[in-house]
Amino acid sequence: MTVRPAPFAPGSIAVRRDIARGRVWTAMPYTVLADDGTTLTMAARPGIETLAPASWTTAQRTGDIADRVRGIEGLAAGRWELDRWTWRDTVVLGRFTAGEPYSVHRFLTPEGRPLRWYVNFELPYRRTAIGIDTFDLYLDLVVAPDLSAHTWKDEDEYAHARRLGVIDEATHRQVDLARDRALAQLRDRTGPFAPDPAAWTLPPPGPLPALPATALSTPAALWS
C-alpha cells in the first residue's frame, strides 16, 4: 500500500522536479502558499538556487538555441549533466492541480507588477516526500497580463521532442486535449483564470527556499 504524502504547510519548502528516465532533469525549490491536497500554489523569487541540464544553463547564458536543441537530443539519448542555476529577475506564482497536464504561472516583477501568465504543459504531477515530480513537455502558452492575448511558445522544440521519441503519441494526444482545455479556461475566465486576486497576489517577503540534501536521492515518482 502506497501512503500518499500529506499536503504541504504554508511557508514550507516544496521541490518541483522534472523526472526523465527515472532521473532528475531539473529541481527547483518553492515556498508553499497553499495546498489543499489537490491544488498546490507556490512561489519562487530571484536568488533561488536550482538544478537544470547544463545544455539549458549554457543556452541561457549564451542565447544560442542550438544548445537547447542539443539538450533535447541528450535527453532522448539519456545523457545529461546537471548544472546550478540561480533564478533571477522575476517572482513566479505557480498553481499545480492534480490530474491536469499543465500548470499555470503568473510572472511578476519583484515589486509585484504583473508581467505575463504562463501555461506550462507537463505530465500531471505526482507528490513526493520533498515536493512534486512532473516532466516538462516543452510546449507553453504565454498570456498577456490582462488575459487579452496569447501566443504559443516552443512549438518547434515540442515537434523536435516528438520526432526523437521524447514525447510519444499517447502523450501528444493528451497535450492536444490539454491545449483545448487551457484555451477554453482562458476564454471563459474559469479555473486558474477565474477572478481571484488573493490567489495571485505577491506574497510577503521571506527567506529564500533552498534545495534539500535529498533533492537528487529522493525516489522519483512513476507514471503508469
Dump pLDDT digits (tens) for 54-104: 999 999 888 888 888 899 999 999 999 999 999 999 999 999 999 999 999
Please give the Cα distance from 177 to 53 (Å, whole number).
Answer: 29
Q: Model confidence over 97-114: pLDDT tens digits?
A: 999 999 999 999 999 999
Q: What is the DSSP letter of 191?
A: G
Cα(84)–Cα(73) distance, rounded to whole angstroms? Answer: 20
Report yes or no on 211 lying in a domain.
Answer: no
Q: What is the pLDDT of residues 129-176, one digit of tens each?
A: 999 999 999 999 999 999 999 999 999 999 999 999 999 999 999 999
- In a domain, residue 214? The reply is no
With respect to residue 205, please indicate whether it lies within any of the assigned structural domains: no
pTM of the model: 0.94
Residue 114 lies in a domain: yes
| Number of structural domains the chain divides into | 1
- Residue 7 located in a structural domain: no
- Percent of the residues in the chain that have a pLDDT greater than 90, as a whole number: 85
Asked if residue 6 belongs to a domain, the reply is: no
Range of the domain at 95: 13-200
Reading the block at residue 173, the C-alpha cell is: 494526444
The CATH number covering residue 103 comes to: 2.40.380.10
Query: Which residue pairs, CB below 8 angstroms and at least 24 apart, start in 19-24?
Result: 19/133, 19/134, 19/135, 19/220, 19/221, 20/75, 20/135, 20/166, 21/78, 22/220, 23/220, 24/51, 24/82, 24/215, 24/216, 24/220
On whether residue 68 sits in a domain, the answer given is: yes
In a domain, 8, yes or no: no
Alpha helix locations (H) across 41-116? Answer: 54-62, 65-77
The three cell numbers locating residue 99: 490530474
